[in-house]
């Protein structure tokens, strides 16, 4: 497992409880040293002990050597560099999977596309996504995930490994749809946090979630995903979770900014990566490139990256021309 943040550690704990030995590596050697001495991730997942079959390691080569599967759980901004470091260490037959949720900002590429550029066709990538908070998975509470791959064999193999205890795993062949859902829901979750932070209430949050989902589908289909994927765990499921619960870092970022905390200060207070910050930039660029109307995502981008006032941008959404839910503009009276 590459990346010992909250989610990487939670997956290690989950797999360890199921009896699957795992090596856990992180680029922060001091963090790994603490994992070794404490047998607990006190920084990101306090109070959860590592199973005996989970071994933190200081060297990437040690983590990868002999592995059946390499599971990446790093911030999306670090994925390309991580793939480059992994390439000389991978051997034919190793399985690759990514549980990170994000888009590469400048290129707009999805994780499996970045992997293809760096690793070629010999190491196809599977994606794990769905409505999951690390603390709940690590605590053994019920959850459901989607494992997506263009290879049915790879998706099935990973699903069998992850489907244990309280976690139920479903498979999908739509890697694009699953990755788009996992990345873009973070942008809408920030929007929900902005709305709640301004005191707009439950009605506004539900409207943002619903219309935000329409934007996710619009973008996902334009990128080659299936519309049906966004009604599943990696789409609607993950969106509902992150928009409605304060365990979501992205939602909390929106709350803080709406209440007057500058973006940089809010990120510092969170103490961990809020992927929606980067996804908002990537979605903004993609919407321009693909000529897509994504108004909620665009206004979140304007708040985070252009310093616009949250109250003004949310009010601007309410003043947009009327539309049908069939995406056809309503004729002016």
* Positions marked active-site: 185
Nearby residues of 104 by Cβ (< 8 Å), 6 or more positions away: 76, 77, 79, 80, 110, 114, 282
**Cα(85)–Cα(110) distance, rounded to whole angstroms?**
19
Residue 139's SS3 state is coil
**Cα(304)–Cα(294) distance, rounded to whole angstroms?**
16
CA distances (Å), 251 to each of 193, 244, 247, 315, in order? Answer: 4, 8, 8, 19
Among 97, 148, 88, 91, smallest CA distance to 118 is for: 88
Among 171, 136, 151, 330, smallest CA distance to 241 is for: 136
CB-neighbour burial class of residue 14 (10 A; exposed 0-12, middle 13-18, buried 19+):
buried
Helices 79-86 and 111-119: crossing angle in degrees, nearest 10, is: 30
**Cα(235)–Cα(210) distance, rounded to whole angstroms?**
11
């Amino acid at each position: 497992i590459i990346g010992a943040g909250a989610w990487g550690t939670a997956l290690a704990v989950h797999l360890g409880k199921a009896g699957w030995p795992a090596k856990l590596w992180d680029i922060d050697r001091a963090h790994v040293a603490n994992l070794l001495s404490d047998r607990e991730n006190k920084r990101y997942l306090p109070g959860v002990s590592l199973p005996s079959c989970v071994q933190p390691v200081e060297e990437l080569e040690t983590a990868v050597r002999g592995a059946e599967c390499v599971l990446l759980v790093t911030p999306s901004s670090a994925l390309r560099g991580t793939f480059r470091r992994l390439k000389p260490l991978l051997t034919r037959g190793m399985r690759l999977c990514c549980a990170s949720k994000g888009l590469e900002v400048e290129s707009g590429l999805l994780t499996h596309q970045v992997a293809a550029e760096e690793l070629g066709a010999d190491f196809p990538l599977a994606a794990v996504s769905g409505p999951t908070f690390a603390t709940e998975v690590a605590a053994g509470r019920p959850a459901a995930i989607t494992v997506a791959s263009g290879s049915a064999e790879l998706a099935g193999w990973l699903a069998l490994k992850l489907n244990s205890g309280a976690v139920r795993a479903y498979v999908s062949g739509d890697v694009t749809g699953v990755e788009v859902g996992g990345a873009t829901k973070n942008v809408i979750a920030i929007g929900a946090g902005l709305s709640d932070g301004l005191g707009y209430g439950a009605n506004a949050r539900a409207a943002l979630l619903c219309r935000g989902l329409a934007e996710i589908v619009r973008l996902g289909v334009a990128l080659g995903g299936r519309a049906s994927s966004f009604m599943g765990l990696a789409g609607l499921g993950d969106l509902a979770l992150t928009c409605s619960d304060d365990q979501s870092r992205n939602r909390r970022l929106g709350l803080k900014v709406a209440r007057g905390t500058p973006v940089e200060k809010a990120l510092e207070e969170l103490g961990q990566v809020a992927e929606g910050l980067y996804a908002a930039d990537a979605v903004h660029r993609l919407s321009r490139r693909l000529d897509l109307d994504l108004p909620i995502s665009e206004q979140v981008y304007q708040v985070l990256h252009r310093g616009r006032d949250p109250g003004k941008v949310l009010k601007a959404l309410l003043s947009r021309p009327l539309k049908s839910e069939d995406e056809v503009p309503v004729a002016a009276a």
